[in-house]
A = this chain, B = another copy of it.
Amino acid sequence: MLIDGLQYANWSEKIFRQMRAGGVDAVHVTIAYHESFRETVLNFEAWNRWFELYPDLIMKGLTASDIDQARETGRTAIFFGFQNPSPIEDDIGLVEIVHTLGARFMQLTYNNQSLLATGCYEAEDTGITRMGRQVIKEMNRVGLVVDMSHSADRSTIEAAEISERPIAITHANPSSWAPARRNKSDDVIRAVTERGGMLGFSLYPHHLKDGSACTVESFCEMIARTADTFGTSHLGIGSDLCQDQPDSVVEWMRVGRWSKDIDYGEGSAAAPGFPPMQDWFQDNRDFGNIADGLRAVGMSDAEVASVMGGNWYRFFAESFGPEGRA
């Protein structure tokens, strides 16, 4: 079982075939950064077209059992998520609508303050807003997972406390290993995992110790130490793979339409584009290097299996149905 907790590739038949070659059973795919509801629907439409064109490679994922079906038929199940709450605009009724359309994860913020919470790039973190509390309750009701990957610490801890169902940080690493703005303190990781939530380890160079030069040994040693501290069962991979994207896309992620000035986010004026991926993780065929690396740092086969997909599978199974009927 191999499940990736986040990707945002420039999708193509080539990548779908690489997923199959890599034995990837399911991926949580971002379909909105700053899109309005109507724009997000266009992205659902684009995926409907992919499903129609490549029925032998991919299928829409709505429940964990769809992963079983994908495995039985040699396909990859695609689960949708948003990195911002912009798709629900200011309308709580859209939470159920986007869930019906297939959304299974929604970040409450993307770096900035949103209507719901504070992002990790704001100077002040005021926690979950009035609307945020209502939306978390509605997300809990319908089975849309609260994802706090790009949120600030107080907001993340409050979300974990307010949510009646486990939440996720789908793509980030411990800041104790790599002190990036997007990585998470032990307090944050504890608040999420001790309530049954998940942390997906990111392979995006800006989230790695030594960036693109990070070694697979260092990455896997970090996972093993995180497992020692927080337990293996709430850890997975969330690669944040942005394969084949032009640099205009990382600019869209960072700036959207909210600023007239360029914001370099985790990059810089000297290196504004996507950073080069480390040689041991270039695309969906490279997950085996991580599994091998985890065994090399002493994790058992059962532990490796749980981190590479088993834990996400259990979390998907518990999270995507109506409350009380997971």
Chain B positions within 8 Å of A41 at CB level? 37, 94, 97
**In whole Å, how far is A6's beta carbon from the nearest beta carbon of chain B?**
23
The answer, yes or no, to whether A295 is at the interface (CB within 8 Å) is no
Which residues of chain A have a CB within 8 Å of any CB of chain B?
Answer: 37-38, 41-42, 44-46, 48-49, 91, 93-94, 96-97, 100-102
Residue of B nearest to A41 (CB): B97
Q: Give the docked Cα–Cα distance between A49 and B93 (Å).
A: 8
Q: Give the docked Cα–Cα distance between A96 and B100 (Å).
A: 12
Q: Is the CB of B101 within 8 A of A48?
A: no
Q: Give the docked Cα–Cα distance between A100 and B51 (Å).
A: 14
Apart from the given pairs A44-B97, A101-B101, 15 other A-B contacts in the complex at a CB distance below 8 Å: A37-B41, A38-B38, A42-B91, A42-B93, A45-B91, A45-B93, A45-B94, A45-B96, A45-B97, A46-B93, A48-B93, A48-B97, A97-B101, A100-B100, A100-B101
**In whole Å, how far is A42's beta carbon from the nearest beta carbon of chain B?**
7
Chain B positions within 8 Å of A100 at CB level? 100-102
Which residue, of A42, A49, A97, A102, has the highest number of chain B Cβ atoms within 10 A? A97
